[in-house]
Homo-oligomer: A and B are copies of this chain.
Amino acid sequence: MSASHSRGRPPASSQETLQDAAFDLFIEKSYADTSIADITQRAGVSRATFFNYFDAKSDVFWVELDRALGQLRELLAAQMAPGETLSPRSGLLAVVNALESCAGQLQREQVPFALTQYEMIGSINELQASALNRFSLIARLITEFLSESNLPVGRARAAAYALIAAAISAAQEWASAGTARDSLQVYLRDSLQPVLEGFAPEGE
């Protein structure tokens, strides 16, 4: 991930640099009043460079989530590699574990900007859309996995949405709990457990 440019011109920027510049400006002005040109100017590169690091303006919000999503994908793929099929309950369990494990990545870092600023995200259409797009990706991923764990696809989809909804509300509670907060994993566990039991009760 980091030893990839032994050869060409060294990068003059990075996702993190641009993200920092963007967040500063979003707070100084607002998301809507900050253009991509503003961001790259603050970061000391040209406008076009922005698109070397992000596909869209709204993507600066989702660096951490996208990383977690990639990890989730890997975790789930690893679980179903060998061709053996899981029972519905163990499939659900695997998803819950994978979600909690991804959340573990966040526990030591600071709370992502997206979480502390979720009012901003809730109110700006374009941002909300970019968030929802991600959740829909996650939903598709989980639905597919559960459906290969022998849940009917409709039930798999419902369970996926329910899990995501539970995870979102857990993350919101976590973020608003302030400095004295437990780790996100604790919130997640409390929040995912009922969904697990709802969709695949223990004695099944």
**Which residues of A does B touch, CB under 8 Å?**
125, 128-130, 132-133, 135-136, 153-155, 157-158, 160-162, 164-166, 168-170, 173, 191, 194-195, 198-199
Contacts and interface: CB of A to CB of B under 8 A. Distances in A.
A138 B161 CA distance: 14
Nearest to A139: B165
Interface of A is mostly: helix
Oligomer copy total: 2
A192 B125 CA distance: 29
A135 B157 CA distance: 15
Nearest to A130: B129
Contacts of A191: 154
B136 A132 contact: yes
B158 A166 contact: yes
A166 B154 contact: yes
11 contacts: A129-B129, A132-B136, A154-B170, A154-B173, A154-B191, A157-B168, A157-B169, A158-B166, A161-B162, A161-B165, A162-B165
A195 B159 CA distance: 10
A195 B195 CA distance: 11
Nearest to A192: B158
Contacts of A133: 125, 128-129, 132
A164 B166 contact: no
A154 B173 CA distance: 10
A169 B162 contact: no
A154 B130 CA distance: 23
A21 to B, nearest CB: 25
A130 B157 CA distance: 20
A133 B123 CA distance: 11
